Amino acid sequence: MIPFNKPYLTGKEMHYIYQAVYSGKISGNGMFTQKCQKFFEERFGFKKALLTTSCTDALEMCAILANIEPGDEIIMPSYTFVSTALAFVRQGAKIVFADSHTDHPGIDETNIEELITSKTKTIVPVHYAGVACDMDKIMALANKYNLLVIEDAAQAIESFYKGRPLGSIGHLAAFSFHETKNINAGEGGLLAINDERFINRAEIIWEKGTNRSEFFRGEVNKYGWVDTGSSFLPSEIIAAYLWAQLENLDDIQKQRTKIWNKYNKGLMIWASENGIKLPLVPDYSTNNGHMYYLVCKSLEQRDELILKLKKNDILAVFHYLSLHNSEYYHEKHDGRILKNSDRFSNCLLRLPMYYELDEKQIDAIINLLIND
CATH 3.90.1150.10, the chain: domain bounds: 249-370
Q: Kindly tell me if the per-residue pLDDT of 221 is higher than 80.
A: no
* Rounded Cα gap, residues 343 and 133, in angstroms: 19
Integer Cα distance of 175 and 166 in angstroms? 10
Q: How far apart are CA 7 and CA 242, in angstroms?
A: 12
pLDDT mean over 317-328: 94
Query: Does residue 166 have a pLDDT over 90?
Result: yes
Q: What is the pLDDT of residue 290?
A: 98
Instruction: Please give the backbone phi and psi of residue 79, each rounded to the nearest 5 degrees, phi first.
Output: -85, 85
| Residue 97, beta-bridge partner list | 76
User: What is the DSSP secondary-structure string of 247-265?
Assistant: TTHHHHHHHHHHHHHHHHH
pLDDT level of residue 218 (50, 70, 90 thresholds): confident
Task: Give the chain's count of helices (H) and strands (E).
Answer: 12, 12
Rg (CA), the chain: 21
pTM of the model: 0.96
Q: Please give the Cα distance from 151 to 167 (Å, whole number).
A: 6
- C-alpha span between 97 and 76 (Å, rounded): 5
* Predicted confidence (pLDDT) at residue 215 exceeds the cutoff of 80: no
Three-class SS string for 145-178? HCCEEEEECCCCCCCEECCEECCCCCCEEEEECC
pLDDT tier for residue 214 given thresholds of 50, 70 and 90: confident
CA distance 331 to 334: 8
First to last CA, the chain: 20
Rounded to whole angstroms, how far apart are CA atoms 316 and 309? 7
Across 123-128, average pLDDT: 98
Cα 232 to chain centroid distance, Å, stands at 17
**Looking at residue 269, what is its pLDDT?**
98
CB-count burial class (<10 Å; 0-12, 13-18, 19+) for 346: middle
Is 77 a residue whose pLDDT tops 80? yes
* Reported confidence tier of residue 372, pLDDT bands at 50, 70, 90: confident
Query: How many beta carbons lie within 10 A of that of residue 146, not counting itself?
Result: 8
Judged against a pLDDT cut of 90, whether residue 223 lies above it is answered with: no
Q: What is the mean pLDDT of the chain?
A: 96
Residues 6+ apart with CB under 8 A from 281: 131, 287
Q: What is the mean pLDDT of residues 260-271?
A: 98
Residue type, 175: F
> Which among 146, 142, 194, 138 is positioned nearest to 162, based on CA atoms?
138
CA distances from 130 to 8, 124, 276, 289 (A): 18, 15, 21, 8
Query: Distances from the Cα of 359 to the Cαs of 5, 193, 254, 256, 356, in angstroms?
Result: 16, 39, 14, 12, 9
Domain 249-370, CATH homologous superfamily name and number: Aspartate Aminotransferase, domain 1 (3.90.1150.10)
Antiparallel, parallel or unpaired: β 73-77 and 94-98: parallel
Mean pLDDT of the 199-218 span = 87
Phi/psi at 340 (5° precision): -70, -40
What proportion of the chain, given as a percentage, has pLDDT over 90?
A: 94
Is residue 212 scored above 90 in pLDDT? Answer: no
- Domain 13-246: top CATH class: alpha beta
- Spatial neighbors of 179 by CB under 8 A, at least 6 apart, are 5, 7, 186, 187
CA distance 293 to 279: 6
CB 233 within 8 A of CB 50: yes
16 in helix, strand or coil? helix
SS3 state of residue 191: strand
> How many C-beta neighbours within 10 Å does residue 34 have?
13
Q: What percent of the chain has pLDDT over 70?
A: 99
**Is 90 exceeded by the pLDDT of residue 344?**
yes
Tens digits of residue pLDDT in 282-291: 999 999 999 9
- CATH 3.40.640.10 positions along the chain are 13-246
pLDDT at residue 11 in the model: 97
